């Protein structure tokens, strides 16, 4: 496959924006359309795009973590959120909320254990997509070469 300069340049600009956007999706999800699942898909798309532009090995380097680690971390986050509730005497996965008053804003910042759970979902989604794409690409090399 021929490397496309346009794609590479565009990717460099797009990937940070996509990643920021994915975090945005994750955070706003509780009140507006979005959430960990979509956020995860967007973040995964960013890395897939990067791998299309510069190759799987490059994408792996940028990702730093193995997709399998992401899967494990994600599951640990989700289960951890549940155990956190257990530890405070609530039942498993019952949501806990802390309100942090912010200077200059009338509404306090609400932080919930559901956010940890949703981050876990996001990690699992990213890990799943990337593990599939990377391992398919490893097995059927040639499309995305370095």
Partner 1 sequence: MLLAVLSVFAAAAVAPLVVRLSRKAAGWILATVPLGAFVFFIRQAGHVTHDGPLRESTPWFPAYDLPLTFYLDGLSLLFALLVTGIGTLIVVYAGGYLKHSDELGRFYVQLLSFMGAMLGLVLADNAIVFFIFFELTSLTSYLLIGFYHNEEDSRQAARKALVVTGAGGLALMAGLILLYQVTGTWEFSEMLAMGDTVVQSPLYVGIFILVCAGAFTKSAQFPFHFWLPAAMAGPTPVSAYLHSATMVKAGVFILARMHPVLGGTELWTTTLVAFGGFTMLMTAWLALRYTDLKQILAYTTTMVLGLLTMLLGVGTEEAIAAMVTFTLVHALYKGALFMLAGNIDHETGTRDLKELGGLRSAMPITMIGGLAAALSMSGIPPFFGFIGKEITYEAALHAGGWSTLILGASVLANAALVASGLLVGLKPFIGEIKGAFTREPHEAPLSMYLGPCVLGGLGLAIGLYPAFVDHSLLQSAQAGILQEPHELHLALWHGVNPALIASLITFAIGFAIYYGWERLQKSAVMGGFGRALGDAPGDGFERLLYELGRSSHTITRAFQTGQFRRYLLLIFTGTIVMVGGALLFEANLSWPSELGEVRYYEAALAGLVVLSALAAVRANDRFVAILALSIGGYSVALLYLLFGAPDLAMTQFSVETLTLILLVIVLIHLPNIDGYEPITSRVRDAVVAVGVGAIVTTVAFAALSFPLDRSVSEFMMQNSYTEAQGSNIVNVILVDFRGLDTMGEIIVLTMAALGVFVLMRMRRIRLPEILGTRLHSDDEPIRVDGDGETVPAGAEAGGAADQNGAEVHPDEPAGAEEAAPDDQSTS
Member of 103, 106, 138, 146 binding partner 1 (CB under 8 A): 138
Q: Would you give the binding string for partner 1 spanning residues 11-50, x where CB under 8 A is met?
A: --------------x---xxxxxxxxxx--xx-xx--x--
User: Buried (b) or exposed (e) across 108-133, using 16+ Cβ within 10 A?
Assistant: eeeeebbbbbbbbbbbbbbbbbbeeb
Q: What CA–CA distances, in Å, run from 4 to 43, 61, 143, 146?
A: 22, 20, 13, 12
Q: What CA–CA distances, in Å, run from 109 to 39, 59, 128?
A: 21, 35, 31
Stretch that binds partner 1, among 6-14, 64-72, 101-109 (CB under 8 A): 64-72
In terms of Cα–Cα distance, which of 29, 55, 52 is closest to 40? 29
- Of 48 and 63, the one with the shorter C-beta distance to partner 1 is 48
Q: Would you give the binding string for partner 1 spanning residues 86-125, x where CB under 8 A is met?
A: ------xx-x-x------------x-x-x--xx-xx--xx
The span from the CA of 84 to the CA of 86, in Å, is: 5
**Chain positions contacting partner 1, by CB under 8 A:** 25, 29-38, 41-42, 44-45, 48, 52, 67-68, 71, 74-75, 78-79, 82, 92-93, 95, 97, 110, 112, 114, 117-118, 120-121, 124-125, 127-129, 131-133, 135-140, 142-144
């Amino acid at each position: 496959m021929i490397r496309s300069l346009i794609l590479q340049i565009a990717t460099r600009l797009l990937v940070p924006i996509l990643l920021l956007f994915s975090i945005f999706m994750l955070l706003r999800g509780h009140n507006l359309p979005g959430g960990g699942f979509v956020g995860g898909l967007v973040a995964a798309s960013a890395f897939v795009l990067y791998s299309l532009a510069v190759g799987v090995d490059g994408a792996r380097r940028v990702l730093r973590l193995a997709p399998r680690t992401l899967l494990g971390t994600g599951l640990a986050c989700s289960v951890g959120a549940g155990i956190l509730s257990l530890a405070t005497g609530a039942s498993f996965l019952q949501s806990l909320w802390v309100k942090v008053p912010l200077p200059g804003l009338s509404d306090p910042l609400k932080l919930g254990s559901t956010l940890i759970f949703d981050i876990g979902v996001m990690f699992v989604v990213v890990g799943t997509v990337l593990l599939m794409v990377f391992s398919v690409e490893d097995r059927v090399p040639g499309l995305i070469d370095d």
